[in-house]
Structure 1
Amino acid sequence: MKSFDNEEVLRGVDLTVNRGEVVVVIGPSGSGKSTLLRCLIGLNDITSGEVWIEDDNFTNEVPVSIAARRKMGFVFQHFNLFPNLSVLDNITLSPIKNKIQTVTEAKTIAMELLKKVKLEDKINSAVSSLSGGEKQRIAIARALALSPEIMLFDEPTSALDPETVKDILNIIKKLSDTGMTMVIVTHEMSFAKEIADKVIFMDDGQILEVNSPDKLFNRPQNQRTKDFLNKIIYM
């Protein structure tokens, strides 16, 4: 459970994500989707219950360990880059500061990641000079810099213009093809159908339905899921 000022934002959440699985979370705004991701990585403390990341677990009394957090990469809706730093410094800051990689190693990895997101020519550019789509690609590269085992995406395309959404979704799709474990919050329903191993529907802080993409989108079992999909897909 997660509460803010005695208001329950998450309640009764019971979720298992298997290694190599792509889980997509959908639901109306304010349903607790982003809070769920932030609780998984420890950005928000949970109020009660526990979270397990492989053999590490944490509660409201035992915070997430550094080892568990390093297994996860997080991509924010609004990028959360350091605007006063260059692209290279944004990617290498954490690995170097936390003494996980040497300066040389961090720069080499950064260049490899920038090639993957097709922005190697921006390595020395100021983040403030980039477009929204470029910033999100840098954010993905930064999240991958520590070689996480799990990637969490919090509505990674919602702050982008329609022309750049496809580029970001293609990058995420290529990551899924490598077997990366992922939890993705998104409003892109066609993308969810294509990429997900299972889809979760949330509303009012609860998980109301978990199913395969085919069953959830074509034969939803919960009436609230049906109502949501009818408004989103068939409006």
Structure 2
Amino acid sequence: MLIRLHQQGRLSAVARDYQDGAHVELHRHDEAQFLYAARGLMRLVTAAGAWVIPPTQAVWIPPGVEHQIFMSGQVEMRTLFIAAEAAPATLDGCCVLAVSPLLRELILRAIQLEEVETGEHRVLVQRLILHEIAALEHMPLHLPLPDDRRLRSICLALLQAPEQGRTLDDWGLEVGASSRTLARLFARELGMSFNDWRQQLRLTEALPRLLAGQSVQRVATDLGYGSGRAFSAMFRRLLGENPREYVASLGQLATLEKE
């Protein structure tokens, strides 16, 4: 499905709600898309990789990028479609962005103003939205996928079982390459080490489980961590909060959205 902008505007705001497990099939837009959920968790998948989008974050999708979206929990999607010529020049690829409280309110206001075809108020809100988007912090919630067949087989196997603890030496024996060759390929194709990629994978797997109410210890065990403390240390290093603080902040956000 293709959603287009109003002819007289640079930005269009759309509100849609989805049930748990809903799937938006592979599609693309002529415009850039700023995909944000006031509630629930989304996974964006493209040919280049996957991104997980909790309620406090959004994902930027450049014009023309084919993508599909998977919903976890009840999702209240609040999304912006932005004309290519109005998109911030710094955002040239898909990325997860930390949504500021101001931008969250601006998105909700833009949706309210969507029925107004013209007006200075709407123009000012749109202009401020674009400035806010350009200044957002990038979040480490991207899981890139490689082209090399050996790396891809490793990554796909870990996607099926992220708790696996095999080393690069172990994987090398399975795919027919030395650990040094695999390490070099990870750095060249994905821009990160094998351990960093596996850590990113486990983080993206942990978020929907935590938001579904699973305990930190259970999530840590299921994802191959020796202790909840080790898992929490990884979580804090990447997202700036421990798992319990992060989930609690999302609960507070959901309460504010309903008020």
What TM-score do the two structures reach when normalised by structure 1? 0.26
Which structure's CA Rg is the greater one? 2
Higher relative contact order (CA 8 A, sep 6+): 1
What TM-score do the two structures reach when normalised by structure 2? 0.24
Counting strand residues as a fraction of each chain, which structure ranks higher? Answer: 2
